[in-house]
Amino acid sequence: MDDSVDTDRISEFVHGTRIGDAPPEVVRTARRLLLDTVGALAGGLRYPPVRALGRALRAAEPTGPDDLPYARLVTLGTAATWLDADSGGSFHPQGHRLPPVPTAHPAPHSLPILLHAAATGDLPDRRLLEVFLLANEVGMRFGVATTLRPGLHPHGIHGPVAAALAAALLRGLDPDATSAAIRLAASVPLAATLAVPMRGGTVRNLWTGLGAYHGAAAAGRAADGAAASAALVTALLDAAVCTDLSPAELTGELGTRWRLVDSYLKPYACARWIHPALDAWRSAVAGVPDPVSGRGGLAAIEVDTFAFAASLAGTEVRSDLHARFSLPVSLGTLALDGELVAGSFLPERLGRAQVRTLAGLVRVREDPAFTAALPLQRPTAVTVRWRDGSSSTARVRNARGNPDDPLTDREVAEKFHRNVEGVLADGTAEAVVASLLTADGGRGDSLRRAAVEILGA
């Protein structure tokens, strides 16, 4: 077997590791990551196109195995990235490759498998957290160990491996079958383009749903004895879809060096390239009671940023995803509402006249020095000018939510509660937060309760 992708070693790791073997900071990261991803997924289910997709898929779905529900997994995976509020990996050894896309988004690919298992079984939160931790550690490693080809989007590429591992562990596959499941899942990467979401194409979110299903299907095929080719995985991840495959990054120091802690959490439901501008806006208007209407009203908002953020300067949006990839629209929404969460771009709020007016005040410029600071930094400066002649400027070097400037537990919990409104009962939401953000939690079944409510939404 080609040893570039040592799936036997990975399988040995996930079968031989328990949550108590991981350092406390890794478990804490996994808790916060799981809570955040549940919130992002529930928030996505609030959008009519996601609900319509679920209805259409269920209506067309033939009778199949109960452990591989196509409509459910695809819909949940699609919902998990609909808000563009999901986590990703922020570290990359070959980080010089631009545009600076994340290394991987394993969490939204693996969560649909966990929610299905939680709703249909009797699994405590601690076991679901354990599977989530292991599956996404490996998913992150596949992202770190490869360099995505320029112009491609990460959804559906490394995520299916995390989904396959989650399904394999929950199905009780043996190590050999789990190894095969990894190879089968890594053999079906989606090679879709980054330009699609930048132009508002909501099909981008479907890629995660398909990745979740393909991962679960890989575990099912492995259980049935399907053959898997390590050479094919190498050809895809070191030539066709990705390059620079590093066996050392993929399997080196498994269990002692944890890539999960390199995850970022997004405080805003929009493209991450925009986040530095939103942070800088908040700093610039800190202490101003009414930054939109006060001081005679806003006159201009000037944004100096790096090239990739500067390219997102359009104000005419065709979908809520297009709004999430518009710096002026996202900034105008934050300015008006004070937040950017699940409800921000629902149909009745997308295209609000006040947001359009504020977006029209935004002027975006590239600063070549800021572009040169990529990918380690994403500098952005925002100058706010009011009609009374006063102004305020703030600059940030990076967006909040990165591992070196993480959100607090309170911020993660607040984001979760705002995203799940109308999907989870208040008591269920509180129970999930208590279970996942409390060090001695995880013994109950709050995730099962949440899964039942999510699947009934």
Span 429-451, pLDDT tens digits: 999 999 999 876 667 899 999 99
Q: What is the pTM of this model?
A: 0.96
Which residues of 85-204 form beta strands (DSSP E)?
Answer: 88-89, 147-148
Distance of alpha carbon 360 from the chain centroid? 29
- What value does the mean pLDDT of the chain take? 94
**Res. 58: pLDDT tops 60:** yes
| CA distance linking residue 151 with residue 98, whole number of Å | 9
DSSP for 331-384, written as a single string: HHHHHHHS---GGGGSTTTTT-HHHHHHHTTEEEEE-HHHHHTTTT---EEEEE
Stated as kind and residue range, the H or E segment containing 112 is: helix 106-120
288, with CB counted inside 10 A (0-12, 13-18, 19+), is middle
Q: Give the pLDDT of residue 65.
A: 64
The residue among 87, 99, 105 whose CA lies nearest residue 312 is 99
pLDDT in tens, 331-341: 999 999 999 99
| CA distance linking residue 353 with residue 220, whole number of Å | 50
Q: Give the pLDDT of residue 1.
A: 39
Stated as kind and residue range, the H or E segment containing 394 is: strand 391-396
pLDDT in tens, 158-202: 999 999 999 999 999 999 999 999 999 999 999 999 999 999 999
> Which residue matches tokens 């499941």?
181
Per-residue burial over 409-436, b = 16 or more CB atoms within 10 Å of its CB, e = otherwise: beebbbbbbbbbeebbeeebbebbbebb
> Which residue matches tokens 């937060």?
433
Say if CB 26 and CB 61 are below 8 A apart: no
